[in-house]
Amino acid sequence: SSDNGSFKIYSDYKMKITLDGVALHHPSGAALNNQCGKSLYLVLAPGSENTLSDGDHYIMSGNEDMKGAFFSEGQIIFSGSGILNVINAGSTAGHGIKANDGVKIMGGVLNVEVTVAAAKGINSEYDVIVRGGRTTVITSGNPRVKSDDSSSCAAVKCDGSFIMTAGILNLKSTGEGGKGINSDKDISIVSGELNVVPL
């Protein structure tokens, strides 16, 4: 545990990490920062509760991306039966969980809360796949408007497809233009339980 620390990964290989009672707060960046482009298998140990949170500003390191309290260049695959809380309380990064190569939820209890303009709870530059677990995402904040673009809150944002075949997904996104799921490609819900709280 640390209120001023982070876990940063460099690797040429995919990896498995088990969280078992971790509490990390990084005041100026991602609490868990995977700079490896390979898959990260994140296991939540049975009976454990884990928390990752960031601060209200980021100090960047060279050309490295770092866009959320939990950031990964590679795909994140969640499993296990423990709990993971991810909290972004106003950082300019604007994301709770950000993965450049996809997010897959196979198990565990994920609680994600983001409060900032144009907040994104789970953000993937590829697909988001839900095949198990219980995930709750709450985002709040006003839209972010630039001269040629605007962005609003979304509990789940993916540049690829959103696919749900099992599990429980509870979503709430407040603020003007807030969305439960924002997908650039297909949305496929085969089974499972999806709850989007109306505003």
Q: Round to whole Å and give the CA distance between 17 and 70.
A: 13
- DSSP H helices, the chain, are none
Q: Is the pLDDT of residue 199 over 80?
A: no
Per-residue pLDDT at 94: 79
pLDDT, one tens digit per residue, over 61-120 is 778 888 899 999 999 999 999 999 999 876 667 799 999 999 999 999 999 999 988 999
Q: Round to whole Å and give the CA distance between 127 and 104.
A: 8
Q: Is the pLDDT of residue 147 over 80?
A: no
Alpha carbons within 13 angstroms on the beta-carbon side of residue 176 total 6
Q: Is the pLDDT of residue 192 over 80?
A: yes
Q: Which helix (H) or strand (E) holds 113?
A: strand 109-115
Q: Is the pLDDT of residue 146 over 80?
A: no
- The SS3 of residue 88 is strand
Closest CA to 121 of 76, 72, 82, 173: 173
Q: Round to whole Å and give the CA distance between 101 and 152.
A: 22
Per-residue pLDDT at 149: 74
Task: Give me the amino acid identity at 108.
Answer: G
Per-residue pLDDT at 190: 97
Per-residue pLDDT at 91: 67
Name the one residue in this structure whose structure tokens are 């209890």: 109
Q: Round to whole Å and give the CA distance between 195 and 177.
A: 18
Mean pLDDT of the region 140-156: 86
State the average pLDDT for the chain: 93
Q: Is the pLDDT of residue 175 over 70?
A: yes
Candidate from 98-107, 139-148, 175-184 with smallest mean pLDDT: 139-148
Mean pLDDT of the region 36-64: 91
Per-residue pLDDT at 36: 92
Percent of the chain with pLDDT over 90: 77
Residue 47 near residue 83, CB atoms below 8 Å: no
Q: Is the pLDDT of residue 60 over 90?
A: no
| Burial class of residue 63 (count of CB atoms within 10 Å of its CB; 0-12, 13-18, 19+) | exposed
